[in-house]
Structure 1
């Protein structure tokens, strides 16, 4: 099923990018007629024709694609159920959306949807829930989207909501119901089907009220079986559709352009917070909603703190800055790391280490042609880093590959890759010991970190921390670097970083 889809990815995602650039006149004409512009709880082609085409639920992703995803989940559930010894004919799938979180009193944090729920529905509103019933009494599964109840007062303050009567036409669901009927629906279903298999994530619940209701529902059932659908959803999310690839390509392009602008504004004694603000601004100005994660903006020796996010120091003359940043574009993330000298010129030691990381990353990307596991790619990174460091005399000559890998691991203690998609560390239930396949998107991010406390290497290398990270789409024709527009050759880096030096 997936192989047929991804065999045409390389050609198909180009067409989706073209569609992004050319919005239809139909959507614009609808927007010009106020009578047809019924506002829902999220952007539509009528209210936001500059973002969404007719029949799209979210930018580039159609109602049909979301329906197909739900069908794939149902197929996966039935295949897994048939393989079990206690096969149940009745199944109830519950995937809840996220709730608003508040920083104080009535001041909310920026809302971000539960990505499993978003993947299956396209619904961007808080406090909603997807229920799919599969039972022996009906010929077809039934998808129900529970949305927030009508509340004129709340909508006055927070904006319009999608009401149950809008669910079928906009989201392509079979039914829409208000959240106030959720518990009653569960009780009614439990009375009708005493023998059922519940598919619900009890481990990482995303909505408190839903979780309480589901727990009560389970306690009332005499013959019950529970499964977590999370891994099945992640297996679907692992393979990106042409529309998803187009969105991720756009996210990578935005991030690349923002990096260039940020590098070019560098200068000695610039604040890490200023570089943070610059990358954030440039991403948003190009259409990204926000940064996909708190960025690392680490000057000098702070680059050796892998997850440094304080970003409150000055980067001095002669130091490099390591920036790990990416934007989120309509639900899909980019993840890029670049390291550059703020004065526009590498020292000889900085350039020497940079070229080691650069060459190793190029070799690792080429290895993706062989579709290794991510764990195998990590082992290759350790060996290649060790070999290169040995060649420049920073690791003593030893005949053992194991020695090389252990020595390199001391200088790069993190994994070289993770899956990428709607989340930065995407589909976390998928192990890194499976072979990568066409349709997957991964990162490749080798690094070398030599802190001031390193006693085994010369002091002239102390304080150097370098990582180079790119986003890689796996295709039948080999790896495609989605973040290819972000310069990384040391000559390019120096040219850009020195543009505005006084």
Structure 2
């Protein structure tokens, strides 16, 4: 990686601490900023998301009449010294603008209240998108700014490009402060999505203080905005469902690549890393990245729910639990898990545990229907898990499945401490700021997308179970769409039945 200088000294002058070799002479500046051909047209077209994001913004704005809503994309984040992580915009910003991948660090979406009926789509708000546009080639940013300069990171879109692509009026980010401050304290309440950009939050607080803005009333708070933006994603629109289907398809392809790589994983001293890098490379090639850190857990490691060290061996005879998802360029992610026999065939006890988890998953699918509670899905899976543990004699003496399933019992949860489902979308754990009464206790509606992922985890040192179970961890996870009359398993193309898994693995490995 080339050496950076994000705060260049004036022309002809070097900083005392500057150890870089970039020239500073006026002759250099004059020469590097001259004799460039006109920039090529980027050929930007309107995004397919434009009508969908417009509808999402309208639904959010109508919940906060008279308020100015501030939704930051977020800044670049330092990884180490003067290098940054690859940028990913905040999910709320992406949802409301359609910008994904590494687009527009420091950008801020603002929904301004306007006179009734005069705003976007005849509504009561007007959207503006404040961005850092392409800098002219006679500016210092062009050649010297390692975060934003064209010489360092490539050409940025112009304001017109951003407007065309998003369907939102784009303005220079330098005008943000004045735009946010207008009429605050004189009828306009300023709200910001917190947790996205500390600098923007600080600016909003300063504007409020200067305007003497009093405590918000009628639910007009930052917390309410964050919650509403999260709840806006509980029911997916047609475009979101289409993007989730694509993410699932790309993820299934990645699982197949992992199966093909298992012999190489067995041969490597850190075979779990072979699995991880095989999937992660596929995710980067076919999408934006992974939607979360890949879990590639072999043997005993599969009993650790979020095992992401992925530094262990992959041994013949063991199970390997792969929990992974491809995040596509729009930032929607899948989230799938399969527990695969390294040799291609389950042992008798492995198959017994796997079948119990599969039966629990099937019960959860049967419960995932419109009108049911989100909690019903989990309870259906837990009933099967508790009954199977009773059948195997693993519950404490005198405890039946019925007793374990009571709030005062829950002994079966020793071997499955996590929930069965979570919403899925732009975030792998989507809609996490939604109110409990709309999420955990909410009623299922067509368009909701969530996971179904029961499991059983018997740790190697668990003296509460017979030795044959110890060291076995199994999870099966699929992505489900609630439909008008039931549900659809979006990941049905990835085999689930143990015999089907074995046949699929044989077909891939030849």
TM-score between both structures, scaled by the size of structure 1: 0.81
Give how far 1:364 is off.
Answer: 0.8
> Quick one: distance in 1 between partners of 2:483 and 2:412?
30
Q: Deviations over 1:291-316 (max 9, x none)?
A: 11111111111111111100011111
Residues 244 and 425, structure 2, Cα contact 8 Å, conserved in 1: yes
1 or 2, which has the higher helix percentage? 1
Does the 8 A contact of 2:46 with 2:166 survive in 1?
no
Over 3 Å counting, the alpha-carbon distance change for 1:289 and 1:341 in structure 2 is: same
Seen in structure 2, the aligned counterparts of structure 1 residues 403 and 269 have a Cα distance that, compared at 3 Å, is farther
CA 293–399 in structure 1, closer or farther in 2 if over 3 Å, else same: closer
Instruction: Find 1:429's aligned residue among 427, 433, 436.
Output: 433
Match of 1:144 among 128, 146, 162: 128
State the alpha-carbon separation in 1 of the partners of residues 365 and 116 from structure 2.
51
Q: Which of these residues, 155, 158, 162, is aligned with residue 160 of structure 1?
A: 155
| SS of residue paired to 1:311 | coil
From 461, 474, 492, the counterpart of 1:466: 474
Q: Secondary structure at the match of 1:369?
A: coil
Equivalent position SS for 2:305: coil
Match of 1:256 in 2: 252
Match of 1:70 among 57, 73, 77: 57
2:115 aligned with 1:131 = no
| Structure 1 residues 239 and 37: alpha-carbon distance in aligned structure 2, compared to 1, 3 A threshold | farther
Seen in structure 2, the aligned counterparts of structure 1 residues 323 and 400 have a Cα distance that, compared at 3 Å, is: closer
Q: 1:335 to 1:400 in 2, by over 3 A?
A: closer
Shift of 1:498: 4.5
Which residue of structure 2 lines up, in the alignment, with residue 318 of structure 1? Answer: 317
Answer yes or no: is the 8 Å Cα contact 1:334–1:471 preserved in 2.
yes
Alignment of 1:47-126 (within 5 A): 54-56=45-47, 61-78=48-65, 90-123=66-99, 124-126=103-105
- Contact (CA 8 Å) 2:481, 2:488: kept in 1 or not? yes
Residues 399 and 296 of structure 1: is their aligned pair in 2 closer, same or farther, counting only changes over 3 Å? closer
Alpha-carbon offset, residue 111 of structure 1: 1.0
Report the secondary structure of 1:402's partner residue: helix
Give CA deviations for 1:203-249 in whole Å, capped at 9, x if unaligned. x2x22332221111011122442512111112221111111111111
Return the offset for 1:73: 1.3
**Cα offset, 1:201, TM superposition:** 2.7
In structure 2, distance between residues paired with 1:239 and 1:125: 26
Output the TM-score relative to the length of structure 2. Answer: 0.80
| Mapped partners of 1:316, 1:68: distance in 2 | 51
Structure 1 contact 318–341 (Cα < 8 Å) conserved: yes
The whole-number CA distance in structure 2 between the counterparts of 1:471 and 1:137 is 41
Superposed displacement of residue 36, structure 1 = 11
Is 1:301 aligned with 2:300? Answer: yes
Write the distance in 1 (CA, Å) between the matches of 2:393 and 2:452.
Answer: 25
2:173 aligns to what?
179
Q: Residues 263 and 397 from structure 1, CA distance in 2 versus in 1: closer, same or farther, beyond 3 angstroms?
A: farther
1:265 Cα deviation after fit: 3.1
SS of residue in 2 equivalent to 1:183 = helix
**Shift in alpha-carbon separation, 1:253–1:167, aligned structure 2, 3 A:** closer
Do residues 199 (structure 1) and 191 (structure 2) align?
A: yes
Query: Larger Cα Rg: Structure 1 or Structure 2?
Result: 2
1:417 and 2:418 aligned: no
> Structure 1 stretch 326-335 or stretch 142-151: which is displaced more?
142-151
Q: Distance in 2 between matches of 1:292 and 1:342?
A: 25
The equivalent residue for 2:288 is 289
Match of 2:26 in 1: none
**What does 1:205-244 correspond to in 2, within 5 Å?**
206-224=196-214, 225=216, 226-228=220-222, 229-244=225-240
CA shift for structure 1 position 499:
5.5
The one of the two structures with greater contact order (alpha-carbon pairs below 8 A, sep at least 6) is 1
Q: Cα distance, 1:282 vs. partner?
A: 3.1
CA distance in 1, matches of 2:128, 2:51: 16
Q: Distance in 1 between matches of 2:186 and 2:403?
A: 57
Deviates more, 1:68-77 or 1:218-227: 218-227
- What is the rounded CA distance, in whole Å, between the counterparts of 2:250 and 2:163 in structure 1? 34
Deviations 1:324-358 (A, max 9, x none): 00100121100000001101121111111011001
Aligned 8 A contact 1:101 1:111 in 2: yes
Give, in whole Å, the separation in 1 of the partners of 2:336 and 2:163. Answer: 39
The whole-number CA distance in structure 2 between the counterparts of 1:126 and 1:283 is: 22
Change (3 A) 1:273 1:196: same
